[in-house]
Amino acid sequence: MKYTDSEDRRTPPNGGESIKSRLLRVIGSAVSGQVAALLDGLWASGRFVVQREPRCGLIMCTVRDPFDTPFHLGEVLVSQAEVRCDRQPGCGVVCGDAPEQALLLAAVEAAELLGCAEMLAPVADAVRRLEQTKADHAARLSRLAAATRVRFDSMKKERVDFDSLGESCE
């Protein structure tokens, strides 16, 4: 697989970020039973067929060192599932041993590619709630980390031009 620097988000015909992309970002915050309930809601339509049962597998994580040399850091456990909504395939891959999450992601992708916005309304609502929960949690942790920031006072200034980095974090 050749990778490019493409953005990891799709823009559906109606504009904005896809539900699948948003769900991927927050699905780890879902509490037990939440994912199963959403799946039950989609399955009730009778339009979904599981093409590939969820399975665990490995993805090799590839990173670049400061000299831009790529190397393999190690493998990550992921779960993968494939689903069809009518004739439209969808694929879900998510970190961890999370079969239901993989199924839900695959189902959402298939339905979204088919343009079934109505069917996905409950998922979109759940995503909005999860986004809020995750944002609150992330902000709390971020503030906690920010509270450990230190500043040094010194009479002697370092001869370093950090402006050359081209960005300020203040």
Instruction: Find the distance separating the first CA and the last CA of the chain, reported in whole Å.
Output: 39
We find the least distance from the C-beta atom of residue 24 to other proteins, in angstroms, to be: 6
Determine if 87 is a binding residue for other proteins (CB under 8 A). no
Q: Which class for 96: exposed (0-12), middle (13-18), buried (19 or more C-beta within 10 A)? A: middle
Candidate ranges 35-43, 88-96, 114-122, 124-132; the one touching other proteins (CB under 8 A): 88-96
Whole-angstrom Cα distance, residue 38 to residue 49? 16
Could you count the other beta carbons within 10 Å of the beta carbon of residue 163?
Answer: 8
- Indicate the residue among 40 and 144 with the shorter CB distance to other proteins: 144
- Indicate the residue among 91 and 124 with the shorter CB distance to other proteins: 91
Determine if 12 is a binding residue for other proteins (CB under 8 A). no
Determine if 50 is a binding residue for other proteins (CB under 8 A). no
The residue assigned the tokens 């040399």 is: 69
Among 12, 41, 113, 124, binds other proteins (CB under 8 A): 113
We find the least distance from the C-beta atom of residue 42 to other proteins, in angstroms, to be: 17
- Indicate the residue among 8 and 40 with the shorter CB distance to other proteins: 8
Question: Could you give the 3-state DSSP secondary structure of residue 85?
Answer: strand
DSSP 8-state class, residue 9: -
